[in-house]
Amino acid sequence: MPRPGDDRLIAYLDGEIEEGERERIAQWLERDGELRERAALLGESAAALRAAFDEVLREPLPERLIAAARGEAGAVADLSAARGKRWKRVLGDRRWWLGAAAAASLAAFAVGFGIGGGEVGLSGGPAPGKIASGTELVSDTFPDNLAGYYKRYVNLHPGEAASFDKLPQNFHLPNLKPWGLDFQGARFLMVDGQPAMALVYTTDDKALGPVIVVVANSGKPDDTVRFASSGDINVLRWRYHGHAYALAGIANANYLWNIHNDLAYQFDGI
């Protein structure tokens, strides 16, 4: 039998070798010190790997996982809450929108329209840049409003130039580059009666299309993630701990949901 390679040595260590071959490998190990050293190192790395994850087995099980295993509805809310906590880290606790409101007023004046200047609809909507007036996140019209905003403003026709507002100083900008989405700029609008930021991301991937992320402070109660579509625009929206969020794009709902998840994961590091 030729000198066993790493694959046979590992199978030997894992007890996955037939009797005859096992004896032959054992004989090799008896007379080959270098092979013994190799086997010892491979065994040690396996032990190290097991040790690195053993502590997970000793951790108490999160309630949300037990609830999920039991099929209890609370698990969904817990998952949403966990995501919400991560979003909260992005926005921080400071009332950034106070500064944003002042900036919005100036920006609105400069470009010739004001916050609260009328509804944006799918048909007959105003010119790009107009925003919805006092739009309620959970209202039936919100997806239409946001979709209209998206179509009119985010999904610009070739040659149209975008104008953006300045981000508040302490605003943590979500990073969507791992999705191939590049931040283009932010616009102010109103959600739940509060100034909000509409963050515009674009991509060369036409299946994914541009994406708009809306973040706002909100005095309204928490609300679970809701999905709606308006034409070919899909919208996810929710409220958590004084913040309102929405995500809109032409991507399918699962894709948007994954973007939402991925954003939350990235925000853990902020």
Partner 1 sequence: MSVSVSDQLIAVLPRLRRFARGLTGSAVEADDLVQAACERALSRAHQFQEGTRFDSWMFRIVQTIWIDQLRARDTRREEAEEDGMHVGTDEPARRAEARLALQEVRVALRKLPPEQRVALLLVTVDGLSYKEAAEVAEVPVGTIMSRLARARVALQAQLEAGSGLRRSTQDAKAG
Residues, the chain, total?
Answer: 270
Total site size for partner 1, rule CB under 8 A: 49
41 binds partner 1 (CB under 8 A): yes
Distance between CA atoms of 79 and 67, rounded to whole angstroms?
A: 11
Which residue among 16, 93, 182, 205 contacts partner 1 (CB under 8 A)?
16
Kind plus residue range of the DSSP H or E element containing 46? helix 33-58
Question: Which residues between 239 and 268 bind partner 1 (CB under 8 A)?
Answer: 254-255, 258-259, 261-262, 265, 268
Distance between CA atoms of 240 and 1, rounded to whole angstroms?
A: 66
Neighbours of 239 (CB within 10 A): 24
Q: Tell me how far, at minimum, the Cβ of 252 lies from partner 1, in Å.
A: 11
Q: Which is nearer to partner 1, 97 or 267 (CB)?
A: 267
Residue at token pair 């004001």: 114
Which residue among 53, 123, 127, 206 contacts partner 1 (CB under 8 A)?
53
Which residue among 69, 98, 102, 106 contacts partner 1 (CB under 8 A)?
69
Q: Please say whether the beta carbons of 12 and 40 come within 8 A.
A: no
Which residue among 23, 30, 44, 93 contacts partner 1 (CB under 8 A)?
44
29 binds partner 1 (CB under 8 A): no
Instruction: Locate 234 and state its tokens.
Output: 């899909």
CB within 8 Å of 118: residues ≥ 6 apart: 126, 130, 133
Mark out the alpha helices in 59-141 (DSSP H runs): 63-70, 74-91, 96-111
Q: Strand, helix or coil at 223?
A: strand
127 binds partner 1 (CB under 8 A): no
Q: Tell me how far, at minimum, the Cβ of 118 lies from partner 1, in Å.
A: 37
Q: Which is nearer to partner 1, 169 or 258 (CB)?
A: 258
Question: Which residues between 162 and 191 bind partner 1 (CB under 8 A)?
Answer: 178-180
6 binds partner 1 (CB under 8 A): yes
Q: Please say whether the beta carbons of 177 and 184 come within 8 A.
A: no
Neighbours of 64 (CB within 10 A): 17
102 binds partner 1 (CB under 8 A): no
Query: Given the rule CB under 8 A, which residues bind partner 1?
Result: 6-7, 10-11, 14, 16, 41-42, 44-57, 59, 61-62, 64-66, 68-71, 75-76, 79, 82, 86, 178-180, 254-255, 258-259, 261-262, 265, 268-269
